[in-house]
Structure 1
Amino acid sequence: MAANQSIKELMAAETKASKIISEARQERGERLKQAKMEAEAEITAYRKQMERTFQMNGNTDLMGDDPTILEEETQRDIKKMQSDFQANKQSVITMMGQHAVRVQLRVPEARKA
């Protein structure tokens, strides 16, 4: 009889433990859902804030409402690149010519054998 009673107690304890585990899993799932909803709300608020900031900072130049500004910047960049090219052209030609005529007259060790 004592063994039968012990088995019933073990079964009851196992059932109780299963319920506790089930409740814990359910609570965990609910916490995850709540955290996900809070994160989405936070992301939405941040996105709205960033969009307002973007609108306030004047996105018209980036969107191309005034193409003359972009054209002027492009022309300035092109002129700078051309002047850099002209300034460095002769030194690059000289350097390449020096490397082209500099020849070492020795056989590499790997070829001697």
Structure 2
Amino acid sequence: MTSQSQGIQQLLQAEKRAKDKLEEAKKRKGKRLKQAKEEAIAEIDHYRLQREREFRHKQSNIMGSQGNLSTKIEEQTTEKIRDITNSFHKYMENVMKQLLNMVYDIKPEIHPNYRDAV
């Protein structure tokens, strides 16, 4: 009987060791899963930051070129306004003289469509 009880004791000890090994394996698996999850999150964050940098770079290139276009348009508009103002000042006096001459030099004439009432 003692050999049977020793055999039972050995089986119980072996079962306990197997449970302990199983517990240890579960803990290691949990640690590995947690570590893999943390690494994946870090990799995702790194990828997201890289993509955001690329997006901002492309956006600044596009917006920068639009900014250049707007400054170019502003310069052209300013130049046109300057030209029109110069033209105005250059021809204003002659146009005013012609206009005043037309107003002051009235030549009364009978309209060609007017019929005598006689």
Percent of aligned pairs sharing the same letter: 41
Alpha-carbon offset, residue 60 of structure 1:
8.3
1:1-22 CA-to-partner distances (Å, cap 9, x unmatched) read 1100000000000000000000
Distance in 1 between the 2:37 and 2:60 partners? 32
- For residues 1-113 of structure 1, what are the structure 2 equivalents within 5 Å? 1-58=2-59
Amino acid at match of 1:39: A
Distance in 2 between the 1:6 and 1:26 partners? 30
1:5-58 CA-to-partner distances (Å, cap 9, x unmatched) read 000000000000000000000000000000000000000000000000000011
Segments of 4+ moved more than 3 angstroms:
59-62
CA RMSD of aligned residues (A): 2.1
RCO (CA 8 Å, sep 6+): is it higher in 1 or 2?
A: 1
Larger Rg, first or second structure (1 or 2): 2
Distance in 2 between the 1:26 and 1:52 partners? 39
- Any unmatched runs of 5+ in structure 1? 67-113
Amino acid at match of 1:47: R
Distance in 2 between the 1:2 and 1:59 partners? 84
1:52-86 CA-to-partner distances (Å, cap 9, x unmatched) read 00000116869xx99xxxxxxxxxxxxxxxxxxxx
Distance in 2 between the 1:22 and 1:50 partners? 42
Q: Would you say how many aligned residue pairs link Structure 1 and Structure 2?
A: 64
Amino acid at match of 2:57: M
